[in-house]
Amino acid sequence: MTDLMSKIISLSKRRGFIFQSSEIYGGFGSCYDFGPLGVEMKNNIKKAWWEEMTRSKENIVGLDAAILMSPKIWEASGHLTAGFADELVECKKCHHRFRKDFLEESECPDCAGSLTEPRKFNLMMKTFVGPLEDEASCAYLRAETCQGIYVNFLNVLNSSRLKIPFGIAQIGKAFRNEITPGNFIYRTREFEQMELQWFCHPKEADDFFQYWKKERMKWYLDLGVKKENLRFRDVEKEELAHYAKAATDIEYKFPFGWKEIEGIHNRGEWDLSNHSKHSGEDLRYFDEKKKEKYFPHIIETSVGADRSFLAFLVDAYSEVKGGRTKTTEAAKEEEIVLKLGKKIAPVKLAVLPLVRNKPELVKKAEEIYKSLKSDFACYYDEVGSIGRRYRRQDEIGTIFCLTVDFDSLEKDDLTVRDRDTMKQERIKINDLAEVLKEKLGK
């Protein structure tokens, strides 16, 4: 674990972003819970994705398919066969398990012991549906959200009267019995995916693949992720999944190395033709104008909400040695500032009375807080020195601190402090909501 990751994990727990699941029972295998700030931030990520992929685009509709589906789907998709199995090796000495494709050496990276022969390990999580626990009632928690989209292709097409090209977007949980989960929420066994499946004419698939690559990279940049921490990695032909004609990963430079956060795939006609074959339903598209019937090709963009959460968090984390708020107590310490983008930050505003022993000040601050809280994710804090309170807000990425001081009582205004520049601006309370909406891009 790198020093930076330890600091991020500790901040996440201390400030209520992410907790270890079942912590009071000793935790539970690589599962995590999102705390009060974490759930706000994760919702912001999902909202930003949904708005980008549906509202700001033409011809994309949403779907929320069930997690449990007919096991026949997973047979057709290849998930129950070798297609969705990783090769597992185990150390004969310490019994730690590893994915073979992740190992650089042929010995155990933990104790240098010798390893077993690799064996296939299926990643699907099994459960039972109904009162009996037998083979016939066996079902699976979905390992990816996209299958729910493919099997609803006709339903969406017929009910929405869409024409090719069009897209179906979905956000939802997926489960994989990962052999080596780790790096905090980077690889977990339960996670959330945000996926777009774009259906197009076969001749247009290559162009749309390029189009979606650009669009998806732009999404991260627009949300404030640093350019130097993002890159494309084209997947080599030999590495391609059985369904893919071409694939590119968007990678982020985590403290533990460059790693995939999103996969963009040209899946060709594989999914629809395959489900047609297995289900007996004709999933071809009929173009009435051209009198042409064909299996649409699919371009997929697939990103983990949790994995991108970690990228946003790492990217925003910064430390200022010696303190930047310059209060005596703070100056001795290191200050953390989470420079999260405006859309992603879990708290947008904090209302702070300068002191708490002046009832008129506290009353005014409380009134302002109440008037803003239904429109903005907003905090109220009156405990501790003003410098300490600024630091607490900087640490969770609050964009603006609104300080109600003695002048506020006479002039009916307050100071708006910017998290990144620390500049303070006086704004009339009557204009506050409008000014803040503009500043936050609402």
List contacts with ligand ATP (CB under 6 A): 144, 176, 178, 187-188, 191, 193, 260-263, 302-304, 306-307
* CA–CA separation, 258 and 286 (whole Å): 43
**Smallest distance, Å, CB 176 to ligand ATP?**
5
**Smallest distance, Å, CB 29 to ligand ATP?**
12
Cα–Cα distances (Å) from 246 to 48, 153, 154, 173, in that order, read 27, 22, 25, 25
The smaller minimum CB distance to ligand ATP, of residues 146 and 416, is found at 146
**Smallest distance, Å, CB 145 to ligand ATP?**
9
The smaller minimum CB distance to ligand ATP, of residues 90 and 262, is found at 262
The smaller minimum CB distance to ligand ATP, of residues 54 and 180, is found at 180
- Which residue stretches of 161-304 are H helix? 205-222, 270-279
DSSP per-residue string spanning 61-104: EEE---SB--HHHHHHHTTTSGGGEEEEEEBTTT--EEEGGG-S
**Smallest distance, Å, CB 188 to ligand ATP?**
5
**Smallest distance, Å, CB 423 to ligand ATP?**
36
The smaller minimum CB distance to ligand ATP, of residues 251 and 382, is found at 251
The smaller minimum CB distance to ligand ATP, of residues 266 and 302, is found at 302
**Smallest distance, Å, CB 185 to ligand ATP?**
7
The smaller minimum CB distance to ligand ATP, of residues 265 and 419, is found at 265
Cβ atoms 333, 327 nearer than 8 A:
no
The smaller minimum CB distance to ligand ATP, of residues 240 and 435, is found at 240
377-412 as b/e: b if 16+ CB within 10 A = bbbbbbeeebbebbbbbbbbbbbbbbbbbeebeeee
The smaller minimum CB distance to ligand ATP, of residues 52 and 144, is found at 144
Cβ atoms 100, 91 nearer than 8 A:
no
Cβ atoms 46, 53 nearer than 8 A:
no
**Smallest distance, Å, CB 278 to ligand ATP?**
21
**Smallest distance, Å, CB 166 to ligand ATP?**
21
Quote the strand ranges of 305-382, DSSP E. 317-320, 335-338, 349-353, 378-380
Q: Which residue is nearest to ligand ATP (CB)?
A: 304
- Sequence-distant (6+) residues with CB within 8 A of 307 are 185, 186, 187, 191, 261
- Residue 361: which of 301, 391, 405 has the closest Cα? 405
